[in-house]
A and B are shown apart, each in its own frame.
Chain A
Amino acid sequence: MTTTLNPRFTFDTFVVGAANRLAVTAGRTVAENPGSAYNPLFIYSGSGLGKTHVLMAIGHAAKTLAPQLNIEYLTLDEYVEAFHAAIAAGQGDAFRRRFQNVGVLLVDDVQFLTNRKEMQTELLRLTEALQQSGHQIVLASDRPPAEIADLDERLISRFSGGLVVDMGIPDYETRVAILRRKAEERGSSFQPGVLETVAKVEFPNVRELMGALNRIVAFQAVNDTPINAEAVRKVLGVRTGESPPAAGSPAAASPGASPDEFSQFLTDVSFTVGKAVEAWRARVTEAVLRWEGEGYRTGRLEKLLDQERPSAVDGEIAAYVLDVERLKALEAEVATLDPQASGDKVFHDPGRMAEAEAAAARVREGAAPPPAPSAAFPLDAYMAGSSNDVALNAARDVISKPGKKYNPLVIVGRSGLGKTHLLNAIGLELAKKRGAVVACLSTQGFVDELIAAIDGNRVDWWRARYRRCTALLLDDIHLLAGKERTQEELFNLFNQFLDTERQLVFTAPAHPNTLEGLEERIMSRLEGGLVAEVGEPDKELRRGALERLLKQQHIRADAALLDYFADRPVDSVRSLTGLVQRVVEAATSQEVPVTAGLAREVLEGVPPRPPPGARRTAGARTSGLVVSSAGGVRSREKMVWDWPAASDRVIEEVR
């Protein structure tokens, strides 16, 4: 209900002149000492002289000084509306309490109290309550309290009991200052004398002064040459040394003629002509400034200013506004579907309606691409070996004949065996094909997207997004367990993909028929393609993976090191990577090269070798135990890799 304070309306942006100095000073005082200085403060002035600005500025200033202060700005109409709503809802008391707790209450347009007896009573009660509890009330009106028709005497005396200040029409200097500041805010610069010429016109209020500024800003914008003082007079329809007819002065009564019927007629006609003849330009300019302010391209409207005559400008403006409304609707629609796409400039250019419609249609159809495979898992980085050749061959077949040979392809295997790698690698290869749209994501991501879509009421869009994919690759399909809605959606997608020979690839930790929580129809469909198992990496594969791993880390790998690692009993490449990582870190921290010995030390806790130079017979003497390279003896105790020299041994024995 309460209008938020316009951030532009602060004391800093208010140009103070003789006509409004008192009001501004009073306003500042009130903001600094709410409730104690002038309470209530009643500001009145003609329309367009800055009442609302000062009211809001008081709110801003008070809020800055005391952030905890509860500040409400509202127009009397809003107050009345809220009051009626509260009464209708039987919440009259709550309504009163709500406003009695406001620290600074700013009420605008109080003149509308006329003929509203019950509101006057209500406002009187509120004013008294606020005053008693030391809360500030500031009122603004277009006339002094005594001139508000039918205003309760008690209210008049109440209002007059505080401070009643008026704001007048700004003088010439203030007008120049206002124009300069506003021109600066707009980023417009004018030739010397231009703003002064505008200021010379005695506009009845600042709003009209701003209208005049708008006109010359717009005029300068559409003309290549900067506007000069003479042109200003023309644009504003002012003759030298004379006020515009809009200001209400008779335009061309014959000198010496008594104010007879004719001159009266002439005055009236002049007024009408003045309003009518250039009014269309003002309307166009207003529309330009308004929509420009809202961030829309206004080229279409600016063109109207080039024409000599006002051929149906209202129609043009109306059409423009309609288009803007349409753009707003489109943007809002797009924003719910795809927040990123809504920032598109095309939604702010009514000159490109067709493009905007097309862009929205694209989004509607789900043009925002679904998650793509990760580039971190290229196919050629996938280590082939006997443990995964079935899966890899199947993947190659899928890549060469997507949707035709194995559909779906289900890659199963324990964690860390490279399923995700293979899945993404397939996705990357498939995405290379012309017109391919590959969705490759984790099942969890898939579920989350659906939930978000349901939440945002855009399941259709979500579906459309996947339906236009040429391939769907889901990692860890077992996570679908218990997600009935997702299974339902996947089931439908599944059928569509199968019918149109589009590839489906899944990964699972175990054979689909052993997965729990999957619906039979999904399971049977998973079984219906190829289930390719990825086994534990064999030594050859481990060695290959190891070589690549070490190469990536720029570690020179000797045969002993490779052999050592390859012989380690690991069940997956991932755990192998973990081992290598531990060794490499140890080597880095000790600043020694990565060797088989270091690895042994780190991984098995074998003491380090003696420093170089010490007598030793590394590898020459052994315990006599032959350790097979396949790792037949794995017990630490039973393996002695590095025998000390005999003398060392003696010492050892003495101990």
Chain B
Amino acid sequence: MSLVNFTSREITCKIVYYGPGRSGKTTNLHYVYERVPETRRGRMVSLATQTDRTLFFDFLPIDLGQISGFSTRFQLYTVPGQVYYNATRRLVLQGADGVVFVGDSQARQLDENLESLQNLQSNLLEHGVDVRTVPLVMQYNKQDLPRELILTPPELDDALNFRAVPSFPADALHGTGVFETLKRISELVLKRLAAGSPAV
């Protein structure tokens, strides 16, 4: 997938929200969806189970309109967090321009976070992509939970953020950190335009 098409003057960014099950990826998308004016958002496609878990994936297209003469579109995807949907995750990850890793701040979820992170790395490798080259942002969600249940952002940084990528504490349900995360990943993705390097 091409990030920038200079011929048709289009920019399309595919951003994938990755993370363990129930970490809040879909919540992120929902929050964004609600804030985007109707004229600018496409239909949010969500394939969920009856228990409201993402079975397949969420897809939210956002049209940012003309920017510098380029019609700019963002496509936000989430992957199903559950371990057994790995084939789907790999599929969604294909052609991603940037990845937001939504981690669960709860202390007891630390292992799931680590596992998912490793899964991200191996799935990217399957596509022949080195995780170090992909724009990546960490979001530590559920920071609104009681202190005793969660790890602080510095602790989570120590545990998960080996590569010292930008990280944001968030409360996706109420929107804290959602746009900050999105903004940062967009910047990272768009900066690659300047370098002229091709997308994943």
**Which A residues contact B (CB, under 8 angstroms)?**
234, 237, 239, 244-245, 251-252, 254, 257, 260-262, 264-266, 268-270, 272-280, 308-314
Known: A269-B64, A273-B190, A276-B191. 12 other contacts (CB 8 A): A237-B69, A244-B68, A251-B66, A252-B64, A260-B35, A261-B178, A268-B186, A269-B183, A272-B187, A273-B68, A275-B194, A277-B69
Which secondary structure dominates chain A's binding surface? helix
Q: In the docked arrangement, what's the CA distance between A254 and B182, Å?
A: 19
A615 to chain B, nearest CB (A): 110
Binds A, one of B4-12, B46-54, B100-108, B119-127: B4-12
A524 to chain B, nearest CB (A): 72
Binds A, one of B21-29, B36-44, B91-99, B158-166: B36-44
B175 proximity list for chain A (CB < 8 A): 261
User: For the complex, is B146 an interface residue (Cβ under 8 Å from A)?
Assistant: no
User: For the complex, is B65 an interface residue (Cβ under 8 Å from A)?
Assistant: yes
Residue among A234, A257, A265 making CB contact with B179, cutoff 8 Å? A265
A-B contact pairs, 7 of them (CB 8 A): A244-B68, A252-B66, A268-B186, A269-B187, A276-B193, A277-B70, A312-B196
Q: In the docked arrangement, what's the CA distance between A269 and B74, Å?
A: 11
B183 to chain A, nearest CB (A): 5
Closest B residue to A262 using CB positions: B35
Q: In the docked arrangement, what's the CA distance between A239 and B65, Å?
A: 13
**Which B residues contact A (CB, under 8 angstroms)?**
4, 6-7, 11, 32, 35-37, 39-40, 64-70, 72, 175, 178-179, 182-183, 186-187, 190-191, 193-197
State whether B7 touches A308 (Cβ < 8 A): yes
Q: In the docked arrangement, what's the CA distance between A313 and B70, Å?
A: 20
B176 to chain A, nearest CB (A): 11
Closest B residue to A309 using CB positions: B6
State whether B39 touches A273 (Cβ < 8 A): no
Residue among A234, A269, A310 making CB contact with B190, cutoff 8 Å? A269
Residue among B6, B32, B194 making CB contact with A276, cutoff 8 Å? B194
State whether A277 touches B37 (Cβ < 8 A): no
B117 to chain A, nearest CB (A): 26
Residue among A264, A269, A310, A313 making CB contact with B72, cutoff 8 Å? A269
A274 proximity list for chain B (CB < 8 A): 67-68
Closest A residue to B32 using CB positions: A262
Knowing A254-B37, A262-B179, A273-B70, the reply to whether A279 touches B194 (Cβ < 8 A) is yes
State whether B66 touches A309 (Cβ < 8 A): no
Q: In the docked arrangement, what's the CA distance between A264 and B70, Å?
A: 19
Q: In the docked arrangement, what's the CA distance between A273 and B175, Å?
A: 24
State whether B196 touches A277 (Cβ < 8 A): no
A312 proximity list for chain B (CB < 8 A): 196-197
Q: In the docked arrangement, what's the CA distance between A251 and B196, Å?
A: 23
B183 proximity list for chain A (CB < 8 A): 265, 268-269
A234 proximity list for chain B (CB < 8 A): 69
Closest B residue to A244 using CB positions: B68
Residue among A239, A251, A269 making CB contact with B186, cutoff 8 Å? A269
B6 proximity list for chain A (CB < 8 A): 308-310
State whether B4 touches A309 (Cβ < 8 A): yes
B21 to chain A, nearest CB (A): 27
Q: In the docked arrangement, what's the CA distance between A244 and B69, Å?
A: 10
Closest B residue to A310 using CB positions: B196
B69 proximity list for chain A (CB < 8 A): 234, 237, 239, 277
State whether B195 touches A273 (Cβ < 8 A): no
State whether A276 touches B179 (Cβ < 8 A): no
Closest A residue to B192 using CB positions: A276
Knowing A257-B37, A268-B183, A309-B4, the reply to whether A277 touches B193 (Cβ < 8 A) is yes
Q: In the docked arrangement, what's the CA distance between A312 and B6, Å?
A: 14
B43 to chain A, nearest CB (A): 17
A438 to chain B, nearest CB (A): 56
